[in-house]
Amino acid sequence: MEMNEPDRFLSRRQEKDLLKAANAVARTEFANPRREGCPDSETLNRLARRRLSLEESGDLTDHIATCSPCFIEYSRYRAVYKRGIRAAYVLASAAAVLLVAVVISRNFPRGIPATPPTTVARAPVPTGQAIPRVLDLRMRGVSRSDTPNGPAEGNPPRLPREQMLLSILLPIGSEEGVYDVALVSSSGQPIRTATGTSKLQDFVQVLPVTFDLSGLSPGRYELHIRRAQTPWNTYSLLLE
Ligand SMILES: [Zn+2]
């Protein structure tokens, strides 16, 4: 059966009694130069650190109270132990203060931040030249590369031959992710490639890519689009 915490170690009353006895002992009333019947240093140390059960410490306290050498030794261990606790407490407090200081300095940076936010140029965007365009493929029939002329390809979407920031509205059911886009000529030659990450906007996957279609001949092309390593989907496209 487990004993309650206050009963396990030296009680406050026992300690008081011990300290009271100390005065008497200090007068070397109980000098015991030969240390007869004395507990060993380890036991005294454990008692000072409250590492002995009440049963173990019962007779010990009686002895210490009546043995000057033991009491002096015990007092020394006790003092060291209490200093240790105080030091640990001071250290813990200092650590807490330091932690608070770090948190504050991180949340309230003064002057120039240590690590300025790096702006990563995702793609070369020639400002003032690229024109935002939207290519709506939501209702376009998806056909595999081997059958590029599906039933929905009769009236292909049109794009001007210029530099553009193209927002491709992907077909319904498309998944979010990184997409490869390639503009392929009628001879099957990829002439422009781009990569973009689609984002869901108002229930539509919008894939932004930068395309420079200036300098290309007008006519029919194919736009190949694939997500990650999935097969390509092909759409007809008319450059004007
Ligand atoms: Zn003793």
145 three-state secondary structure: coil
- Looking at residue 7, its pLDDT comes to 47
**Helix intervals (H) in the chain:** 5-8, 12-26, 41-48, 54-65, 68-107
- Looking at residue 6, its pLDDT comes to 44
Domains of the chain: 5-106 (no CATH), 131-239 (2.60.40)
Read off the pLDDT band of 43 (50, 70, 90): very high
More confident residue, 42 or 24: 42
CB under 5 Å of ion ligand 1: residues: 38, 67, 70
Tell me how many degrees the CA angle 109-112-116 measures, rounded to the nearest 5.
95
Q: How far is the CA of 76 from the centre of ligand 1 (A)?
A: 14
CA–CA distance, 198 with 209 (Å, rounded to integer): 9
- Looking at residue 223, its pLDDT comes to 92
Q: How far is the CA of 61 from the centre of ligand 1 (A)?
A: 10
Distance linking the first and last C-alpha atoms of the chain: 92
Q: How far is the CA of 3 from the centre of ligand 1 (A)?
A: 28
Per-residue model confidence as pLDDT tens digits over 127-164: 557 888 899 998 876 555 444 444 445 688 899 999 99
Q: Is the pTM higher than 0.75?
A: no
Residue 175 CB neighbour total at 10 angstroms? 12
User: Which DSSP symbol is given to 154?
Assistant: S
More confident residue, 113 or 208: 208
